[in-house]
């Protein structure tokens, strides 16, 4: 699973959105689930962002940061957008990234995880 926190007003979030949409399309059939964490105060702005970037994965609307506050302390700085957390098949955090992710970074992290068999 790849969890990505974003906001429609965030430039780096806009830059990485096409990469995340492509990641879901490319690796979804191999087990990747992308989940967004929309930090916009306006649900309408978040939905417009999702539509504009053709994001086919769901996003939780979290304007107050309540979901982010449930993350283990020190995992990421939830005050900085965007941030990404990758969780492996066993439910362990495999990678975190502050700032926009690139296709190269996604391939480097996701390919080995998607090739690994559960329990190995």
Residue 119 has pLDDT above 80, yes or no: no
Q: Is the dihedral of CA 93, 109, 11, 17 positive or negative?
A: negative
Report the pLDDT averaged over residues 67-96.
89
Checking if the pLDDT of 96 tops 60, the result is yes
Residue 21 near residue 56, CB atoms below 8 Å: yes
Task: Tell whether the model's pLDDT for residue 19 goes beyond 70.
Answer: yes
Find the mean pLDDT for residues 24-45. 94
Angle at 20 between CA 29 and CA 68, to 5 degrees: 105
pLDDT mean over 27-53: 95
| Torsion angle in degrees (nearest 10) through CA of 68, 14, 106, 51 | 90
Higher pLDDT, 119 or 37: 37
- Note the pLDDT tens digit of each residue in 103-115: 999 999 999 999 8
* CATH architecture of structural domain 2-115: 3-Layer(aba) Sandwich (3.40)
Packing angle, helices 103-115 and 11-27, rounded to 10: 30
| Cβ atoms 56, 40 nearer than 8 A | no
pLDDT tens-place string over residues 44-54: 999 999 999 99
Return the CA Rg of the chain. 14
């Amino acid at each position: 699973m790849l969890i990505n926190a974003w906001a429609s007003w965030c430039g780096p979030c806009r830059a990485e959105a096409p990469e995340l949409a492509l990641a879901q399309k490319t690796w979804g059939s191999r087990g990747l689930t992308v989940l967004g964490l929309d930090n916009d105060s306006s649900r309408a702005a978040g939905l417009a962002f999702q539509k504009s970037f053709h994001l086919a994965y769901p996003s939780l609307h979290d304007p107050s940061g309540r979901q982010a506050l449930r993350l283990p302390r020190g995992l990421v700085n939830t005050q900085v957008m965007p941030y990404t957390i990758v969780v492996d098949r066993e439910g362990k955090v495999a990678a975190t990234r502050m700032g926009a992710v690139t296709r190269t970074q996604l391939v480097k992290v996701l390919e080995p995880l998607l090739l690994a068999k559960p329990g190995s």
